C-alpha cells in the first residue's frame, strides 16, 4: 500500500496501547494514502470515503498517462473506470490488462472484477436517440458500480404518449435520470409525473439556438416541477454518481 510508514506505525502503536479506538484509526487511515506519479496523485482509498473509487477523466491526458493511471488503480481496486476514452486508449491498455472492456457508445473503458449489488434501481430516460451516448455513460457507470438500471429511451415531448405507459416502470425505481437536449422539456414532464428524485442531464444535442446544451441546461434549472436537480451539460457520469448516492443513502 502507498502510505506513510511512520504515520501508519504510529497509529497502530497507539491502537495497541489503547490510546485510540479501532474506529479512530480507521477514520484516519481511510484519508491517508495516495500515490504520487508526478503528473497525477492517485487517491486509492476514495472508495472508502465515497460511493465511487477514483475515476479517470481521459480528455486532456496523454495515452501514456491514462495507461499508467489505469494500471496503478487496477493494482489497488477491483473496479476501474475511465470516462470519455477512445479506441487508442483501449488498445494500449488491453496489451497490459486483457480483461479490460470498452463501450464505444458510452466511451467508457472499464475493468469490472467485483461489484457488490447496490440495493435499489435507477431509471435512465432519454428524450431522443441522439441522447444515447450520455445516457449510456450514466447507465453503464451505474451497472459497473453494482446498481440495477431500467432504460427507457426515445420518449421525448414531441411524442409524449410514448412516455405515459412507462410511468409504472419509472415509479418502481428509487431514482430517475432524464437525459435531453433540444429544449430540455422532458425533465420537467417526468418530474411532474413521479415523486421519485429526478436528475436532469442537458445534452449538447440540438440546432444553433440550443447553444451546445446551454438552452436545455437553463430550461432544466428553471423547471417548475419539484424534486428535479440538474448536472452539467453531457455529464452522464455525474448523474450516475448522484443517483448512486441516493440509493446508498437509503441503506
pLDDT digits (tens, 9 = 90+) for 141-159: 999 988 999 999 999 999 9
- Mean of pLDDT values over 27-55: 73
Q: What is the mean pLDDT of residues 49-60?
A: 83
Taking only the tens place, the pLDDT of each residue in 121-144 is 999 999 999 999 999 999 999 999
pLDDT score recorded for residue 185: 94
pLDDT beyond 60 at 2: no
Taking residues 101-123, report their average pLDDT: 89
Q: What is the mean pLDDT of residues 95-113?
A: 91
Mean pLDDT of the chain: 88
CB 79 within 8 A of CB 111: yes
Whole-prediction pTM value? 0.84
pLDDT of residue 66: 93
Average pLDDT estimate for 62-66: 92
Quickly state the pLDDT bin for 7 (edges 50, 70, 90): low
Contact of 139 with 124, CB cutoff 8 Å: yes
Backbone angles phi, psi at 83, to 5 degrees: -100, 155
| Mean pLDDT computed over 1-29 | 74
pLDDT of residue 53: 76
Which band of pLDDT confidence, cut at 50, 70 and 90, is reported for residue 251?
A: low
What pLDDT, on the 0 to 100 scale, is given for residue 5? 56
- For residue 91 the three cell numbers come to 488498445
Q: Model confidence at 114, in pLDDT bands (50, 70, 90)?
A: confident
Higher-confidence position of 70 and 40: 70
Q: Which region holds residue 106: left if phi is over 0, alpha if psi is between -120 and 50, else beta?
A: alpha
Question: Using an 8 Å Cβ cutoff, are 241 and 137 in contact?
Answer: no
Pairwise CA distance, residues 139 & 244, whole Å: 11
Q: Are 120 and 174 in contact (CB under 8 A)?
A: yes
Write out pLDDT tens, residues 191-248: 999 999 999 999 999 999 999 999 999 999 999 999 999 999 999 999 999 999 999 8
- For residue 76, pLDDT over 80 is answered with no
pLDDT of residue 217: 97
Q: What number of other Cβ atoms are within 10 A of residue 129's Cβ?
A: 11
The band of 4, judged by pLDDT with boundaries at 50, 70 and 90, is: very low
How far apart, in Å, are the Cα atoms of 144 and each of 65, 81, 87, 109, 190?
A: 23, 8, 19, 11, 26
Beta bridge partners of 80: 111
**pLDDT in the model for residue 48:** 65
Number of helices (H), then strands (E), in the chain: 11, 11
Ordered structural domains, the chain, with CATH: 19-112 (no CATH), 121-249 (3.40.50.1970)
Amino acid at each position: 500500500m502507498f502510505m506513510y510508514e511512520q504515520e501508519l506505525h504510529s497509529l497502530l502503536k497507539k491502537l495497541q496501547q489503547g490510546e485510540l479506538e479501532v474506529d479512530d484509526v480507521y477514520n484516519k487511515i481511510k484519508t491517508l494514502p495516495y500515490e504520487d506519479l508526478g503528473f497525477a496523485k492517485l487517491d486509492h482509498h476514495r472508495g472508502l470515503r465515497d460511493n465511487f473509487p477514483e475515476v479517470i477523466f481521459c480528455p486532456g491526458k496523454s495515452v501514456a498517462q491514462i495507461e499508467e493511471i489505469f494500471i496503478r488503480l487496477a493494482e489497488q481496486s477491483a473496479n476501474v473506470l475511465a470516462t470519455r476514452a477512445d479506441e487508442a486508449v483501449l488498445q494500449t491498455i488491453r496489451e497490459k490488462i486483457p480483461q479490460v472492456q470498452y463501450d464505444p457508445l458510452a466511451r467508457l473503458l472499464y475493468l469490472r472484477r467485483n461489484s457488490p449489488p447496490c440495493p435499489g434501481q435507477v431509471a435512465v430516460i432519454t428524450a431522443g436517440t441522439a441522447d444515447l451516448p450520455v445516457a449510456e455513460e450514466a447507465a453503464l457507470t451505474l451497472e459497473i458500480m453494482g446498481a440495477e438500471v431500467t432504460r427507457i429511451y426515445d420518449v421525448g415531448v414531441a411524442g409524449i404518449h410514448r412516455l405515459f405507459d412507462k410511468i409504472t416502470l419509472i415509479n418502481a425505481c428509487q431514482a430517475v435520470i432524464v437525459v435531453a437536449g433540444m429544449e430540455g422539456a422532458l425533465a420537467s414532464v417526468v418530474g411532474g409525473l413521479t415523486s421519485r428524485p429526478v436528475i436532469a442531464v442537458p445534452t449538447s444535442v440540438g440546432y444553433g439556438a440550443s447553444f451546445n446544451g446551454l438552452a436545455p441546461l437553463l430550461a432544466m434549472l428553471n423547471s417548475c416541477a419539484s424534486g428535479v436537480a440538474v448536472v452539467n451539460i453531457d455529464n452522464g457520469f455525474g448523474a450516475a454518481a448522484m443517483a448512486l448516492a441516493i440509493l446508498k443513502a437509503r441503506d
